[in-house]
Amino acid sequence: MPLALFALAISAFGIGTTEFIINGLLPELADDFGMTIPAAGLLVSGYAIGVAIGGPPLTMLGARLPRKTMLIALMGLFIAGNLLSALAPSYGVLMVGRFLAAFAHGAYFGVGSVVAADLVAPQKRASAIALMFTGLTLANVVGVPLGTWIGQAFGWRSTFWVVVGIGIVALIGVIALVPRQPRPEGAGIRGELATFKKGSVWLALAMTVFGFAPVFAIITFIAPIMTGVGGFSPGAVPVVMALFGVGLVVGNLVGGKLADRAVMPAIYGSVALLAGLSVVVALVAGNQIAFVVAIMLFGAAGFATASPLQTRVLDAAAGAPLLASAANIGAFNVGNALGSFVAGLTIDAGLGYVAPAWTAAVLGVVGLGVAGIAGLQARRHALVTA
């Protein structure tokens, strides 16, 4: 794998850290700005909205630029957003900083996926994307716990300064290691928008939404599931989340290898496994040892879907993949929001803390159904064009 992929992975590590770190720093932020923790928690949902709505427009604006130039500009925007967050004198300014970083997030992963895929032979594209995404998974295992400790020990602003440093290292890596790639024929806003006339692109985006939604349906409510059903102490939650993160790392790399062999079978298998493990999580929620094993496997299945889903979008949008790739990063975040929202409704309806796991299973089945429709369409298209 080219060294340029490691520069992209460092960027992903910084982006993933800044996305999730806010969860561990909510008490400090709420205290500093004199607000409730739920109010401070809007920084989490605000970031997700920024990723979903900011990535595609930024990608369109830069569609005529060389891809390396786009990566440099986006990493500069990411650094600026975190620098503003570190210096924020008020909650409003901090939210603006989070939005800037989120805008860079959506576009960077979209463009970075295309660059990563083009750096290697066609049969290794999914593994290249998975290697980039490894930075995101490692952020959950290393970046978030370490950043939380730094923020609690030295103040929440110190965490953002560390992320700024990571962003600078990543920027230097991109400048030094990522080669300039020729702009493909037909590149530009019109060509990128034209890909959305393809039904296969929309089916790929729908697969991402429903195929990844089960992950956040469970993980959003893992603390009440553990403490309210499994009898875990609150102190065990970070430990289990770290093990879940280990599962993410392993599953991400395995998913990339499988997708290199065959993309759609990798999607069928990973989404089906995710749905099945959601049922297992529901059934063993009261058994601590079995639950820990199940949640690690669930994490592995969850991110085994990531690179196959991203690769499928690139395949569907062949010729002008930048905007579709960025839109798919937004689709992951729509899936995050959908999973946590629907699962929350089941708890509000009085169905108990195990209900999110059953919700995840249903969402996974829907995702598998969408994947089946996409596979049938792809086969019909292949027969027509043969």
Residue 107 pLDDT: 87
Residue 328 pLDDT: 86
Residue 187 pLDDT: 58
Q: Do 195 and 320 meet the contact criterion of CB atoms below 8 Å apart?
A: yes
Segment 178-219, tens digit of pLDDT: 888 766 555 567 777 778 888 888 999 999 999 999 998 898
- Residues 270, 251: Cα–Cα separation, whole Å: 9
> What top-level class would CATH report for the domain 187-386?
mainly alpha
What's the full length of the chain, in residues? 386
pTM attached to this predicted model: 0.81
Residue 283 pLDDT: 95
Q: Do 18 and 177 meet the contact criterion of CB atoms below 8 Å apart?
A: no
Residue 117 pLDDT: 86
Tokens of 139: 């952020």
Residue 329 pLDDT: 84
Segment 122-180, tens digit of pLDDT: 888 888 888 888 888 888 888 888 888 888 889 899 999 999 999 999 999 999 998 88
Residue 52 pLDDT: 79
Residue 236 pLDDT: 84
Residue 184 pLDDT: 58
Terminal-to-terminal C-alpha distance of the chain? 33
**Cα Rg, the chain, nearest whole Å:** 20
Tokens of 160: 């953002």
Per-residue pLDDT of the chain (386 residues; tens, 9 = 90+): 678 899 999 999 999 899 878 877 877 888 888 887 667 777 877 887 888 788 888 877 777 788 899 899 999 999 999 999 999 999 999 999 999 999 898 889 888 888 888 888 888 888 888 888 888 888 888 888 888 888 888 989 999 999 999 999 999 999 999 888 766 555 567 777 778 888 888 999 999 999 999 998 898 788 788 888 988 887 788 788 888 889 998 999 899 899 988 889 999 999 999 999 999 999 999 999 999 999 999 999 998 998 899 889 888 887 777 788 888 888 888 888 888 888 888 888 888 889 999 999 999 999 999 999 988 887 776 666 65
For residue 135, CA distances in Å to 129, 139, 283, 351 come to 11, 6, 32, 36
The CATH number of the structural domain formed by 1-183 is 1.20.1250.20
All CATH 1.20.1250.20 domain ranges in the chain, comma separated: 1-183, 187-386
